[in-house]
Amino acid sequence: MTENIKDKVVVITGASSGLGAETARHLVREGAKVVLGARRLDRLEALAKELSLGEEAIFKVDVTDREQVKAFVDHAVKTQGKIDVMINNAGIMPLAPLEMMRFDEWDQCIDVNIKGVLWGIAAALPFFKEQKSGQFINVSSVAGHTIGAGGAIYSATKYSVRVISEALRKEVKPYNIRTTILSPGAVDTELPGSVGAPGVSEAVAGFYHQTAIPADSFARCVLFAMSQPENVDINEILFRPTAQEL
C-alpha cells in the first residue's frame, strides 16, 4: 500500500492537528517529503520537531487568503524543487440550525471549506500542468453525501468540494493529473471544536466521544490513493466508523 510514495513532495493544508498532522506522520514514515501549512505556527513547529523536519517544511497560511495559499505552494516548490501531491485538508464544521442565523459562521465555513480548496487547486495546478503529473486530494465528508438537521451550510460546502473535484477531474485529463476526494465520517480530531452553537456543540461532542475512529484511518486512505500506479486514479473514498449510521 505504500509504493510510489517515497520522495514525493506533499503539501498539506490544515496540518497543525488532526487529519493533516496524522497524515504527515504517516507520509514521513514512508519517505515522502512534506510541507505543512496552517494558521497555528507554534503547532506546526512542534510537529516539525517531532518529525525531525527543517524550518522549510512549515509555513503559516490562512487558506481563506488566496495570496497566502499561493505563497505557501510557491514556497514548497522553491524549497523542494517540485510538488507531487496537494492535500486540501483545512476545514471547519459549524453545525447549527438555519433558524439560529449564525451568519459569521456561514461566511467562515464557505471561505474555509470551499474557497480554501479552490485556492489550493489554483496554487498547485500550474505546476502540475507544467510537469504533466500531480495529484489533488480534496477533503469532503460523509456530510457531502448526506444531510442532517443542522448541517445545511456544512453539507453545502462539502457537496461543493465533491462537485469542484469532479469537474477538475474531467478538466485535467490532458495533463495526466489525478484527483481524489476523501469523505470521512466521525474521526477523532479537533473538528467538533468548531461547533459553537449552544446545545449543538454538546451533542456533537458526545457523538464523537462515543463513535469516532482514530485519525490514522484517514491517513491510511491518503497512502492508498497516493500509492497507486500512475495510470490508476482513485477518485473517491467514503468511509465511516462501523458504528456510524448517518
Has residue 4 got a pLDDT over 70?
Answer: yes
Burial class, 134, CB count within 10 angstroms (exposed 0-12 / middle 13-18 / buried 19+): buried
Q: Helices marked H in the chain — which ranges?
A: 18-29, 41-50, 66-80, 103-110, 116-131, 152-171, 200-211, 216-226
Q: Structural domain boundaries of the chain?
A: 9-237
Mean pLDDT value of segment 11-38: 97
pLDDT attached to residue 1? 56
Q: What is the pLDDT of residue 246?
A: 87
- Going by pLDDT thresholds of 50, 70 and 90, the confidence category of residue 29 is very high
The mean per-residue pLDDT over the stretch 179-195 comes to 95
Rounded-to-10 torsion of CA 109, 206, 243, 227: 40
| pLDDT tens string 155-184 | 999 999 999 999 999 999 999 999 999 999
Determine what percent of the chain is predicted with pLDDT higher than 70. 100
> So what's the pLDDT on residue 54?
95
Distance CA 20, CA 56 (A): 17
Known catalytic residues? 154
- Residue 218 predicted with pLDDT over 60: yes
- Rounded to whole angstroms, the Cα distance separating 180 from 238 reads 11
- The CATH fold assigned to 9-237 is Rossmann fold (3.40.50)
pLDDT at 227 over 70: yes
Q: What is the tens place of the pLDDT at every residue in 41-91? A: 999 999 999 999 999 999 999 999 999 999 999 999 999 999 999 999 999
| pLDDT number for residue 3 | 82
- Residue 2 or 138, more confident: 138
Output the pLDDT for position 113. 98
Q: How far, in Å, CA of 177 to CA of 132, rounded?
A: 7
- Does 2 score more than 80 pLDDT? no
